[in-house]
Structure 1
């Protein structure tokens, strides 16, 4: 399944795929040249979770007939609005044209908008970020209504300098895989049977999560769980056997303190990571009391792991 990433119409540059999937630092991406032609990246860290990102320059004009082959394979179009440039009217007009052409070929495409670079000095508080976010939503919906185009669009505030870009991409990737609902059910069961506060299944290479339980995602939970993956990789590089960074025995446990009272064990939360498939890990937040039943948690994780293999075998 393809994801089309359309850059800002003026700068024509997106650094998103390079930061997330090629591990370029945000500061290094600042010096990248504009995207002048279509760039293709295939994400295939795991044989069961694969997709292709096509990075389009912002000045590309979509044409339903000329781009039919691409659009027929497209699951989602991500339109990146550069909040630093701030030309909402022009950007919304561009997005409307893209939707009009894409809809002629493929009515099943998801349309996603990144209100991007909200980390700049122009947006120093949440009110300013929400203002540009709401202005863009209002303008594009008016444009689509006037053009009699009826599609659903999901909006995200994003930056490459924090975890918001990973969270947004995770939610988009989840829309494209039919087995995600089964994974959510399994994670909900883990939540119910073992008292797990929050659970994610991560792609270990990109650190995007392909599933989480049904409870709302707190970005701080995502941050701390994804950072545990870095801890695992760093420790495995130093102490791993035969230079292996990751295998079926991989696991990590970290106890987090809550509050100032070091003797108050009841307030502790555990971060628990377990391998569940090749390059996929389960990361959980578990309370002190529930973690005392670690044998039960491991039993249920093994059931989840087996179910995961069965789902992928039928894919």
Structure 2
């Protein structure tokens, strides 16, 4: 199916010999990722290794199609094409945009002491505008966290739209998502259907993380934490946070989805706060 999609959609196919000075930079759920250069070192890329036998091909195709749809969006990691390593055994490399500061979580850890509130508002504005743009297209992400967002030259980049590894299909089983997940999705006798207000909850957590420079709840991913969150436990407001900013993110993580603002409203309020 994947090879048929490549051919039918005229996806650019690169020769592996076009890339040089490759080095491994990570080993994620899809496979290893390599930093590499092209055009005499003037352009940097990431090569992500995949085996289509280990992934949900339809979800991967949907993810890549959405990247093509949003190709001009500055806050979405770009997909350039593929390298057909061994298509007969399902081995491919995805040629992706490179983000030189890594995940947002790592960026905040390394740069936070030097960030001004103007810098934090810059990150927050990009985040909320991106998610609002997705919602305008009726796209619910469902897996928003500080490792799903990359940073390149102080610009946020959405890493993925969908989890496509067969082992990761059910997001509820991923403990790393617990601090960012709408607690209503964990409640007994509730069918866990994702909607826009679930993303709004995650955005609230991310806005807090941008204000603090720390993972929510100290990166605690225990089920005991989930029980506490269901019962109303939230992070504490960081001292010297602008009042309107903290008011906004606490509204976003309200236990009642109906009381959470829309992403369109979140964008308007962040922009108004930044200008005042």
Greater relative CO, 1 or 2 (CA 8 Å, sep 6+): 2
- TM-score (norm. length: structure 1): 0.28
- TM-score (norm. length: structure 2): 0.31
More strand by share: 1
Larger Rg over CA atoms:
1
More helix by share: 2
